[in-house]
Structures are given as structure tokens and as C-alpha cells.
Amino acid sequence: MTTDVNSLYEKKVTCLNCAKPFKTMKVRSSFCNPVKTDSDFFVYYDKPENNPYYYAVSICPECGFAFTDQFSNYFSVKAKEQISSQITQQWQKQNFGLIRDFPLAVASYKLALYAAELKEEKQLVIAGLSLRLAGLYRAQNDVEQEKRFLEIALEHYITAYSQGEPDRMSEPKILYLIGELSRRVGLYQQATLYFSKVVEHPNRNSDLQSLKLAREQWLEIKEHLANQ
């Protein structure tokens, strides 16, 4: 992959786990040119090499802990122990802070998912990582892996909603995403249920985008089932 080095810059970050500083690449916002957004909010960019998704995960070269800006600073004692034994003690030092292609981007998200699970990060954070990874596979036309991570994202969004976690996004948006991911993996009855929850939500007018999308996707399900 040929990358215009001017599109990338080095950002100094501090590892949330071991507190050691390191540098990682990010894409300059002026080079991030979106061309399309899917109904689950996955964004396509004009050039893969300038895709900010590829660089969203920071990976500490010293301890191997992978994280994004959505991770919290809090670690329980149990989480610290698990990260030490399951990540750091197994880690072969390597530098993810260079130019990334698709395989490296996928590897970074899988490392972040593993770290998030061990850390017992919020369900919405894990769901978001899974959803973005599904989108990366979608962009490569890998239907099997896309569905796999859509199902993982769906599970975590449902758990986040059931646990009353919605604090990083509106409740109608979470309900919409549950409906849309259900639709994408073929769970049409469940999708219809959650789209109806968006339409009937008392705060639906606070998130008009999710309300509009829920109505559109609900109609698409009806048309799909009618044509079967």
C-alpha cells in the first residue's frame, strides 16, 4: 500500500496500562474524505491509506495493551492481573505505530477487543470496536467475518441497553443500532421490535436521524419479507 506520508502524523500517547509514553500514527483530518456512510454508521473513505479507522487503536510496544480514546482510565485489580498474565507476559515486543494496511488494522482491533474484554470495559466500547471491525471486513467483501463481528456487536449493544449503560450515545440510537444489526444478520422479527421501540420512544425527537433511519429500515424489512 502506497501512503502519502504527509497524510499521517505521529501522535504521542501514554499507555493506559503501564503509563509508558509511545508514538503512533494518525491520519490528518484534512486527508479524511468520506464518500459514503452505511445504515449502521460505518464510513467509507476515498483512499484506504487515509482511512482513520486503520489508526484508531493505539498499541503499547512495551506491554502490548491496545486501546482507543473511548477506553476509560479505570482498571480493577482483577483487570490488571488478567492483562499482565494474558497480554503482557505473552507479548513479543513489536511496533504498531507505523503505516498500517488492512491486515494490521484488523490485528489492532482484535488486540483492542481482547484488551477490552480483559479490562471489563463498557459494553458500548466493545460493541463499537466489533461494529467497526465488521465494517472493515465489509469493505473487503468478507461476508463471513463481517457477520461474525456484527453478531458480536449486536450482543454487546443489547447488553448495554439492558444494563442501562447508554451514556455515550442516545437511547434511540442504541435501539436503532440493535434493530439495524439484527436486520443485517437476518433476525427480522427482532429488528422490527427494536425499530418500533425507536419510533415509540418518548425521546425519539431528540435523535431525528435514528428515528428517520428506523422508519426506513422497518419499511425495507416489510418489502423484503413481502418479496420472499
DSSP letters of 62-95?
A: TT--EE-TTS-S---HHHHHHHHHHTGGG-----
How far apart, in whole angstroms, are the C-alpha atoms of residue 6 and residue 27?
Answer: 9
How far apart, in whole angstroms, are the C-alpha atoms of residue 55 and residue 98?
Answer: 9
Asked if residue 4 has pLDDT above 60, the reply is: no
**Are 152 and 130 spatial neighbours (Cβ–Cβ below 8 Å)?**
yes
**Are 4 and 16 spatial neighbours (Cβ–Cβ below 8 Å)?**
no
Confidence of residue 58 (pLDDT cuts 50, 70, 90): very high
pLDDT in tens, 35-55: 999 999 999 999 888 899 999
Asked if residue 3 has pLDDT above 60, the reply is: no
pLDDT in tens, 98-131: 999 999 999 999 999 999 999 999 999 999 999 9
pLDDT in tens, 128-168: 999 999 999 999 999 999 999 999 999 999 999 999 876 66
**Are 211 and 205 spatial neighbours (Cβ–Cβ below 8 Å)?**
yes
